[in-house]
Copies of this chain bind each other. A is one copy, B any other.
Amino acid sequence: MFEAVELDRKVSKETFKAKVPELRTELLELQGLLAEADFPVMIIVSGVEGAGKSEVVNQLNEWLDTRDVETHAFWDETDEERERPHFWRFWRKLPGRGRIGILFGSWYTQPIIDNVFGNTSDSELNVQLNHISELEQTLSHDGALIIKFWFHLDNKTQKQRLEAKLKKNKHRPAVAKFSKHYDAFARTSARAIRMTDSGHSPWYLIEAKDKRYRDMTTATTLISAIRQKLATSADRRHSSYVHDAMAPEEESARVTILDHLDVEQSLSSADYKKQLNDYQSRLQELTWAARNKGLSCINVFEGWDAAGKGGVIRRITGATDARLYRVISVAAPTDEELAHHYLWRFWRQIPRSGYMTIYDRSWYGRVLVERVEGFARQDEWGRAYQEINDFEERLVERGIVVNKFWMHISQDEQLRRFKEREKVPWKQYKITDEDWRNRDRWDDYKAAVNDMVARTSTSFAPWQLVPANDKRFARIQVLKTVCERYEKLL
């Protein structure tokens, strides 16, 4: 692979001087257009040690209008980062729409280094690269333009460069190990590049021996990629389509998983009190034990309006030290959140190890309300199932327990509760016109829930459908599940 970028390509000083003003002008024009566009640009700067990646980054920062550019170097991880899924540190730094992010290091660095130094096997590397492909696909489906640069040097040139660097600056971290493992690096890098080179986020291999050639090629590639993306109409960009099995209109053909649930299951008051007390004591102890062992837990609550999400959540938090949990009520996204992939706001809030996060509504809004109300296009909510599965898999992989509850009540029970809420002064705030509107779309929501469960109830993060006409029964079932998941893992 790399022989194609060991050709001694050069650019003369004169050409460079003559061409740079044009390139700069063009870059700035494109940036102007980009600022109004609905997608972010992510530039990944990687390559062999000594190729001058830092110089390229500095050069880009000189040529671009830095007001819309963010440069992020990913090297020394903080403990806040280590305590979360590996991709968290990248998600938190991704640029928003209309902006350019220069990602120096990026998600490729660690997998390559780990493989070269024998910390991961080739098949482990493959898994990591698959996750990277999924991530890049998720981002590019959302519109992101991902431009991946690999700067290459032959072995001899690298050695010379690294030695010169070391001489020049004694404070720099040691880099000798890179040159010594040149071949191993080349082998692993080639594999990484090959496995992640895709139509939506291609690699650009650039020979880095001659700095002028390197920097001009980088700029020209950037210009062409951005120009092409801008020229593609938004419609064509969102072309991926979801094929769905189409059930006939007949009632019996439209039965959903919710229809199979016995919502009337109940618990006597005495039983409830006893069990509540029991599970809450267990939970209190378990949350401290989880904290001491660094085990995180995410509890997701979805369900019909008035199904009792709030009441269940309070039975959990009431048994948990306030230092150990956080409840996140999903409201309208802020403008920073709107400027990113819809999962970005949830990545932001992933707990550190040892803590519990409770979501009152969640990322499933994408395939529930956004689908039913048409806030998301079909291709958007259609691909969300897989994106969500990938997301949750990253969480579980990192050792986070993911519990997902759908609180289910019958339509009649909902009506009864709506009316009750209207009567009790401190419950009135809970009932709005929107709730009545949602109620009218009961069947659409039911279909959406059925799809959601079918597509996202995975072995690592299964859905639990909770019969909730009887609040006592529902609360105990949730508490029991949370306790048992903890107990299994502690």
Chain A interface residues (CB < 8 Å from chain B): 21, 24-25, 28, 31-32, 53-54, 57-58, 61-62, 65-67, 71-73, 75, 78-80, 83, 104-105, 168-172, 281, 284-285, 288-289, 291-292, 310, 314, 317-318, 320-324, 326-327, 329, 331, 334-336, 352, 360, 424-426, 429-430
Contact = CB atoms under 8 A, between A and B. Distances in A.
Contacts of A314: 58, 61-62
B71 A327 contact: yes
A53 B336 contact: no
A329 B66 contact: yes
A360 B57 CA distance: 18
Copies in the complex: 2
Given A61-B314, A322-B57, A327 B66 contact: yes
Given A62-B318, A78-B78, A168-B284, 18 more contacts: A21-B424, A25-B425, A54-B321, A58-B317, A58-B320, A58-B322, A62-B317, A65-B429, A65-B430, A66-B310, A66-B327, A71-B326, A73-B322, A78-B79, A172-B321, A334-B336, A335-B336, A336-B336
Given A169-B285, A318-B58, A329-B66, A73 B323 contact: yes
A135 B80 CA distance: 26
A28 B426 contact: yes
Pick the most buried of A75, A171, A320: most chain B CB atoms within 10 A of its CB: A171
Contacts of A329: 66-67
Contacts of A32: 429
Contacts of A61: 314, 317, 322, 327
A396 to B, nearest CB: 23
B171 A285 contact: yes
B75 A323 contact: yes
A324 B281 CA distance: 49
Q: A interface, by DSSP: helix, strand, loop or mixed?
A: helix
Pick the most buried of A58, A65, A72, A75: most chain B CB atoms within 10 A of its CB: A58
Nearest to A284: B169
Nearest to A62: B314
A104 B429 contact: no
A27 to B, nearest CB: 8
A220 to B, nearest CB: 15
A24 B426 contact: yes
Given A78-B352, A79-B79, A171-B288, A54 B334 contact: no
A104 B323 CA distance: 8
Pick the most buried of A31, A61, A322, A360: most chain B CB atoms within 10 A of its CB: A322
Given A28-B429, A32-B429, A78-B79, A53 B334 contact: no
A79 B289 CA distance: 22
Given A78-B80, A426-B21, A334 B331 contact: no
The 10 closest A-B pairs by CB, nearest first: A171-B288, A57-B322, A73-B323, A24-B426, A67-B329, A25-B426, A54-B322, A25-B425, A79-B79, A171-B289
Contacts of A284: 168-169
A323 B58 contact: no
Contacts of A75: 323
17 contacts: A21-B426, A24-B426, A54-B321, A57-B322, A58-B320, A61-B327, A62-B314, A66-B360, A73-B322, A73-B323, A78-B78, A78-B352, A79-B80, A169-B284, A171-B285, A335-B335, A336-B336
